[in-house]
Each structure stands twice: as C-alpha cells, then as structure tokens.
Amino acid sequence: MDQAIARVARAIECAERILVISGAGLSAESGLPTYRGIGGLYNGFTEDGLPIEQVLSGPVLRSQPALCWKYLAELGRACLGAQPNAGHLAIAELQRRKPQCWVLTQNIDGFHQRAGSPEERLICIHGAMQPLYCQSCAAESETLEAALRGGLPPRCQACGGILRPPVVLFEEMLPEAALEQLYSELGKGFEVVLLVGTSASFPYIAEPVLRTRQAGGFTAEINPDLTLLSHSVDVRLAGRALDVLVNLLSHISSH
C-alpha cells in the first residue's frame, strides 16, 4: 500500500489538471448511509409501501408533495446532522495546493463546500439539498434547516407554491449547467483522475476515467470494495476514503 500511495502522490505532484470524483463512500464516513441513487437511506420499500425511487421522484413531488417531502426531510436532516470528514478536508486542501484541481461529486450533502472546496471548481452532478426554491414562481427561499422546522411540504412566502431543493430526483434530468461544465473541462483533458468512494456505475462518472486513461493520463481508485472500474485504473487503493486521502495528502508537497 505504501508504494501504491507513493505512486499516486507522485502522479498528482507532477500534474496540473486533476479531477477528483467523489461518491457516497466518502460521505458514509461522516455517518451518512450510502445512497441508492438519491434515496439510499432505504433499501427497497418505504414505510408507505412504495419504492424509494417512486416517492423521491419528480412526478411524486409534483402530484403528492407531502409524501415526497416526508422522505426529502429525512434525507435533509441526515445531511444537516452530519459534518464533513477528514477526507473532504483533504480534497479541499489538495485543491488549495493544486489550483487546477476539480471535484466532480455525486453527493448532495454539501460537505465539499463546507470543507472548503471552491464553488468554481466543484461540479455537483446530482444537485444539492439547498437553497430551496419555489416550483411555481422559481423564487429562492429559506434554508433547508428553516424549512424543516415548519410544516411539510414547505411553501413559498411569495406565492404559496411548493418549495423544493435543487437536487436531481428520480425521473429527472441531470442539471444542464453541471453537465456543460463537466464536458467543457473534460474537453481540455485531465492528467490525473482520482475516484473516491464511488461504484462508478453511471456513464458520466466512468467516462472521465476511461477517457483520461485512453489519452495517456493517470487514474487511481480509492474504495474498500471492487467496482466496475477497478480493473481499468492504474492504481487501486483499497481502504476507507478518509484514511487513504489523509495518508495520500501527507505524501504530496504543500507548495
């Protein structure tokens, strides 16, 4: 493991353009359950007898907002009740040391921002849990924390419409701005791509790894379990993201 860590550290030190791709395994170490899609607080059916993929979907938010918000609120409380861990802080520090280091995250918890990752180099491909906005008039509204203190579903103070977070629910499209940003940066190329705590099951998560490898770049994975890309990366670091990232950062120059 020490040799593998040193190899990844050398590749990062020699690179300018770096992409860190983070998934649920990173935030699991903050106490958040790993998500199945957006709703992995559950496995299979909810207490209402419906699949989580159904209750946390765009159509249900529109047709039965109280039902959808019952589970959105649970997800929101889990995010608000946890804190970024040393892995998030290590990634933010890497971005400080490497001004062309980007983060592409599947996570909706906001931990990268709270750990200090700059918004301008952070692509939240599945959106985030806040700020809330109105489905009817699009006005940005109160914080998630404030909304969860009131009645559900939360309503817009301006028009009375139902509020929602800017998160990608089931049966909804990925945010266009995030996709455009991802493919714009991918078009410029990355020298190093580091997968952290993700199974890489989505094409837009796997593509940066495969394209970078094909172009002669360096790819590595941090995950305790084997994934779909484990045999496609240059180095696989088996272990908890938190531990491996802290160890890796200690091998990288602070200048």
112 included as an active-site residue:
no
CATH number (domain holding residue 139): 3.30.1600.10
Q: Are residues 213 and 154 in the same domain?
A: no
Looking at the structure, tell me whether residues 70 and 136 fall in a common domain. yes
What CATH number does the domain containing 199 carry? 3.40.50.1220
Residues in the chain: 255
d(CA 145, CA 76): 8
In this structure, are 248 and 134 located in the same domain? Answer: no
Catalytic residue selected from 112, 126, 231, 251: 126
The 10 Å Cβ neighbour count of residue 36 is: 14
Please count the structural domains in the chain: 2
What pLDDT digit, counting tens, does each position of 48-83 carry? 888 888 999 999 999 999 999 999 998 899 999 999
Residue 38 predicted with pLDDT over 50: no
The answer to whether residues 141 and 107 belong to one domain is no
Both 182 and 71 in one domain: the answer is no
DSSP output for 36-95: STT-TTSSSB-TTSSBHHHHTBHHHHHH-HHHHHHHHHHHHHHHHTS---HHHHHHHHHH
Answering whether pTM is above 0.85, one says: yes
pLDDT at residue 17 is higher than 50: yes
Q: Which domain holds residue 13?
A: 1-31+84-128+173-255
C-alpha angle 220-223-240 in degrees, rounded to nearest 5: 120
Q: Per-residue confidence at 36, pLDDT binned at 50, 70, 90?
A: very low
Do 53 and 121 belong to one domain? no
Reply yes or no: is the peptide bond before residue 153 cis, omega within 30 of 0: yes
Q: Do 41 and 154 reside in the same domain of the chain?
A: yes
* End-to-end alpha carbon distance in the chain: 24
